[in-house]
C-alpha cells in the first residue's frame, strides 16, 4: 500500500507495534501485511528445514526465516526465507543483525490478496533483481506450485514452474533437493 510519502527504515521504529502486522518498505513505499495463514507458514518451515539440512551437511551457508534485509534506507524488507553463503554473511550483517547485502536465494510464500500477490510477483521481484539476488522462489501454497527465477545477466528471469510431483533443486545448492509434496500441509 503506497500512501504518497517516502518512508525510510527510521520510520519503521516510529510505527505502532500491532500484533500480527508486518511492515516493509520498498522504493520508499510502506507495505503492510497481516499475520500469515497456517499453510503459508507450513510451506516456509518445509523450505527452511530442507535448506537447513543441506546447509548443515555442506557447511556452505545458512537459511533464515524473515530476516531483516535492508538494502538502503528506503529498501527495508523481511522476505519469508533466505539462504546466504557463509562468505556473504560474514561481510553482510550489520551490528543490529540485519542483512545489508543480497542473499543468494530469496523465497516468498504468497499471502492471500491481490495486493500481497502483486508485491511478491512484481515489486519484490524487481527489488531482488536490482539488488543482485541470484535466485528467487515464489511459492503458491494454494495452487501448490513454485515459480523459480534465476539471474540472467542484470535481471531475474523465470526458468521453471514446478508442481506437487516435482522437487526444488538449484545450481546454487549442488545436491539440494526438496520434494514439493512435503511443503503442503495435509488436511486436518
Per-residue pLDDT band at 14 (split at 50, 70, 90): confident
Q: What is the pLDDT of residue 24?
A: 62
Long-range residue pairs from 94-97, CB within 8 A, at least 24 positions apart, any chain: 94/70, 96/68, 97/68
Rounded CA-CA distance 78/94 in Å is 15
CATH code of the region 37-183: 3.90.1570.10
Q: Is the per-residue pLDDT at 1 higher than 60?
A: no
Query: Closest by alpha carbon to 113, among 61, 35, 57?
Result: 35
Q: What is the pLDDT of residue 65?
A: 93
Q: Is the per-residue pLDDT at 131 higher than 70?
A: yes
Task: DSSP letter for 99, please.
Answer: B
- Region 46-74: mean pLDDT is 94
Q: What is the pLDDT of residue 177?
A: 97
Pinpoint the alpha helices (H) of 59-142: 86-92, 114-118, 124-131
What is the percent of the chain with per-residue pLDDT over 90, rounded to a whole number? 65
Q: Is the per-residue pLDDT at 68 higher than 60?
A: yes
pLDDT in tens, 21-47: 676 667 787 666 666 788 888 999 999
C-alpha cell recorded at residue 87: 562468505
Pinpoint the alpha helices (H) of the chain: 9-14, 38-58, 86-92, 114-118, 124-131
What is the percent of the chain with per-residue pLDDT over 70, rounded to a whole number? 89
Rounded CA-CA distance 72/8 in Å is 8
- Region 112-139: mean pLDDT is 94
Q: What is the pLDDT of residue 67?
A: 85
Per-residue pLDDT band at 2 (split at 50, 70, 90): very low
pLDDT in tens, 86-122: 999 999 999 988 899 999 999 999 988 888 899 999 9
Amino acid at each position: 500500500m503506497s500512501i504518497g510519502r517516502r518512508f525510510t527504515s527510521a520510520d519503521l521504529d516510529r510505527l505502532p507495534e500491532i500484533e500480527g502486522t508486518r511492515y516493509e518498505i520498498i522504493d520508499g513505499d510502506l507495505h503492510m501485511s497481516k499475520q500469515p495463514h497456517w499453510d503459508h507458514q507450513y510451506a516456509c518451515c518445509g523450505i527452511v528445514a530442507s535448506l537447513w539440512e543441506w546447509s548443515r551437511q555442506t557447511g556452505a551457508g545458512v537459511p533464515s526465516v524473515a530476516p531483516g534485509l535492508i538494502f538502503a534506507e528506503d529498501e527495508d524488507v523481511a522476505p519469508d526465507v533466505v539462504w546466504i553463503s557463509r562468505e556473504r554473511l560474514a561481510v553482510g550483517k550489520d551490528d543490529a543483525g540485519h542483512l545489508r547485502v543480497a542473499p543468494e536465494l530469496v523465497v516468498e510464500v504468497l499471502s492471500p490478496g491481490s495486493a500481497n500477490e502483486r508485491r511478491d510477483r512484481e515489486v519484490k521481484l524487481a527489488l531482488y533483481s536490482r539488488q543482485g539476488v541470484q535466485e528467487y522462489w515464489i511459492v503458491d501454497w494454494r495452487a501448490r506450485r513454485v515459480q523459480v527465477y534465476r539471474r540472467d545477466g542484470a535481471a531475474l528471469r523465470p526458468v521453471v514452474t514446478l508442481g506437487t510431483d516435482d522437487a526444488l533443486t538449484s545450481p546454487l545448492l549442488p545436491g539440494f533437493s526438496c520434494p514439493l509434496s512435503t511443503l503442503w500441509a495435509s488436511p486436518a
